[in-house]
Structure 1
């Protein structure tokens, strides 16, 4: 394991850039996995790693030592003093362990015939990562993101996804209208509208393309017009809407419930 102690080290500068800037991540074609859970998930999926960086104090952890031992022999490992690790950490509370990965190539165009989640301008990294984790847990593999969404492979979205990325087909900056041409199932938009039907009155055993927009602006007019039906989640009292991640979870697991009854 190679020790590094200077902020002027090229790797340190690169790590700092990757942690802080989407532009730099695109420039290098790389991102960071933060924390033991994400590294464990990557190793289980045999996801290619370009390097592993650990804070000195984290070497006292048996979990971290075990993860380092599981890394392929060709993956370089680096040790940083805790203060220097904090400087390159992509989160405010450093986990003490990060891995460098290549940004994956876009999945090839494919005919969508099973359930798919479409996210329109969901910009909060925590929401986006949570939604990806929910989709994976509900058995949905295809996720399409419009151009206005947060970067799916940013460190904060990866951290919120907790490894879900490695089992999903994620298409960023997708031409959703084109991708949904010929979709054989229902295209459902969650929207507050007079003609919206209750989620619990809709047949969800068929393939569904779910359209979700950000809380503030909702779905774009073009995507809303593409929906074959509008859906509302019944709520008590004077609550008008839910966090988009909560809405996705309710919809996807209502579909999962209907498919297993």
Structure 2
């Protein structure tokens, strides 16, 4: 089948578990596919081929395939204005079920798509409003995708952006092990890792990833319970961070140590006063193994009816290991080191605290004025990561000075 037919096949539009509406959408596309005319292959001096005899087709002629002026070998389809089938493709591509079942993600905007292509992400379909968008993308990469020119008014309807750029793409979900990250990012990478724990807000996670890329983190580990990093809002807030450093998502806590370099010390970020006694607060079941929000007495408490609240709190407190506590600006960054950032609502899980305790890690406190609630998770991550970067760079300079021989 033609290029667009491949994109609109059941494998893309009908994830496993889709309801009757999804099946009706697939049947509609099968009945009326967009026709694709392949590039004409013409020998020098050959006369135009005559049309094969046969019954004439009723209705309007199929849309023509145009050649981009910027790239003579680049062909694309021109969709009819208001074609609702295209809207269905974009709508379905935004769902988590589609991402999980089909291994594809939706990217929007010139910068994000260009970063993805340069990092080696594989494009499946690109929707664009003007040929100029194609001229700004690497030609060799986009030749592998189905290119569909649509009206900007249609993209405005599909887009989640306030000011759409007229460019969307469906990509295979990137595999961090196969990506080619920017040379500048690799050159400035530090033995500093980030572990996300119970980060539920898409904007927070995207901003955290952006800070991790800016600080030069080696990689980011995202545990189960966090929002999907390939959710459109996370991608927008990340501003290309997804294609600048490895992001390993949906990890069970048992598999986190195997994704850390040998000898990594794991520290956790907290807002508790270092002079205050340790406190624990129970969190909703399922947020982690006997999860807690250390030092945050305002964290929501949700007691399970089959367990008395006092007994639950005692069990949670007994399961929380003691960690050495210090302010974030004091010396703590060793090589290598990982920092755990917990969500604002659920806080740090007991799994994170146990991992930190098993590696000799510390509880890093960001002091705030009394009466002020905990910091935003993204702000806390930026503060701790850039302080870790400062300490690692200072330690690196001190090591270099010690290696310089002294003139006799």
Smaller-chain TM-score range? 0.7 to 0.9
Greater Rg by CA: 2
Q: Which runs of 5+ in 1 are unaligned?
A: none
Which of 86, 100, 118 does residue 170 from structure 2 map onto? 100
Q: CA deviation at 1:105?
A: 4.1
1:169 aligns with 2:246: yes
Corresponding residue of 1:187: 266
Q: CA deviation at 1:212?
A: 0.9
Corresponding residue of 2:380: 247
Tell me how many residue pairs correspond in the alignment.
250
SS at match of 2:128: strand
Q: In structure 1, how many angstroms separate the alpha carbons of the residues matched to 2:145 and 2:354?
A: 49
Alignment of 1:188-227 (within 5 A): 188-193=267-272, 194=276, 196-227=325-356
Residues 24, 47 of structure 1: alpha-carbon distance in 2 compared, 3 angstrom cutoff: closer
Residues 136, 72 of structure 1: alpha-carbon distance in 2 compared, 3 angstrom cutoff: same
Q: In structure 2, how many angstroms separate the alpha carbons of the residues matched to 1:180 and 1:69?
A: 38
Q: In structure 1, how many angstroms separate the alpha carbons of the residues matched to 2:344 and 2:233?
A: 19
* TM-score normalised to structure 2 length: 0.56
Q: In structure 1, how many angstroms separate the alpha carbons of the residues matched to 2:337 and 2:136?
A: 39
Relative contact order, higher structure (CA 8 A, sep 6+) = 1
RMSD of aligned residue pairs (Cα, Å)? 2.6
- Asked if the contact 1:199/1:233 (under 8 Å) is kept, the reply is yes
- Asked if the contact 1:54/1:80 (under 8 Å) is kept, the reply is yes
Q: CA deviation at 1:92?
A: 4.9
Which of 69, 72, 77 does residue 2 from structure 1 map onto? 77
Alignment of 1:64-213 (within 5 A): 64-68=133-137, 70=139, 71-105=141-175, 114-180=191-257, 183-193=262-272, 194=276, 196-213=325-342
- Asked if the contact 2:117/2:138 (under 8 Å) is kept, the reply is no
Q: CA deviation at 1:68?
A: 4.6
SS at match of 1:219: coil
- Asked if the contact 1:17/1:25 (under 8 Å) is kept, the reply is no
1:12-38 Cα shifts (integer Å, max 9, x gaps): 31211112x211222332111111111
Q: Which runs of 5+ in 2 are unaligned?
A: 1-75, 179-189, 277-323, 395-408
